[in-house]
Amino acid sequence: MAAGLDEGRIRHLELIQTIVTRMGNNSFLIKGWSLTVTGALLAYAVGNDKSDVAVVSFVPVLAFWLLDGYFLYQERLFRRLYERVRSPGTTIEPFAMDVAPGREKAGALKAAGSFTLAGFYGGLTLAQVFALLFVL
């Protein structure tokens, strides 16, 4: 057992880590779905000269981008909770999952604008622009 951490606090930290892992898995799945949906829509649009489908394909990318940003923000909140729980002398109630003290204004939008998400979804958006130019 780590110094200063009782069994209950270790279990609490494990529970929080499980949630952080789940948020990361959700983000991974969303990226997979966004690639699949965008690829299918663009392949159809380019293969059938359908510029309207290429334009509409921007909607799911934006939706997936925002959803992925939300999951990243939630992951950050739970990481902050983890830090508060593991800190010596914490006053957090055992097994409390309140992430409110770690919230920030425009947190999900800020997370959506992170380098990794902006790079991934920006790349998808760039592919959509090229596909749209191809079918026009």
| pLDDT by position in tens, the chain (length 136) | 456 678 989 999 999 999 999 999 999 999 999 999 999 999 999 999 999 999 999 999 999 999 999 999 999 999 999 999 998 888 888 899 999 888 888 889 999 999 999 999 999 999 999 999 988 8
pLDDT of amino acid 73: 95
pLDDT of amino acid 26: 96
pLDDT of amino acid 136: 82
pLDDT of amino acid 105: 83
User: Among 26, 2, 18, which Cα is nearest to 86's?
Assistant: 2
pLDDT of amino acid 76: 95
User: Among 99, 112, 91, 88, which Cα is nearest to 15's?
Assistant: 99
Tokens of residue 66, six digits = 């925002």
Where do the structural domains in the chain lie, given as residue ranges?
Answer: 7-86+98-135
Task: Find out whether 83 and 38 touch, Cβ atoms under 8 Å.
Answer: no
Tokens of residue 133, six digits = 């130019």
Task: Find out whether 54 and 45 touch, Cβ atoms under 8 Å.
Answer: yes
pLDDT of amino acid 18: 97
User: Among 79, 76, 71, 78, which Cα is nearest to 28's?
Assistant: 71
Task: Find out whether 46 and 135 touch, Cβ atoms under 8 Å.
Answer: yes
- C-alpha 134 chain-centroid distance: 31
User: Among 112, 98, 110, 106, which Cα is nearest to 19's?
Assistant: 98
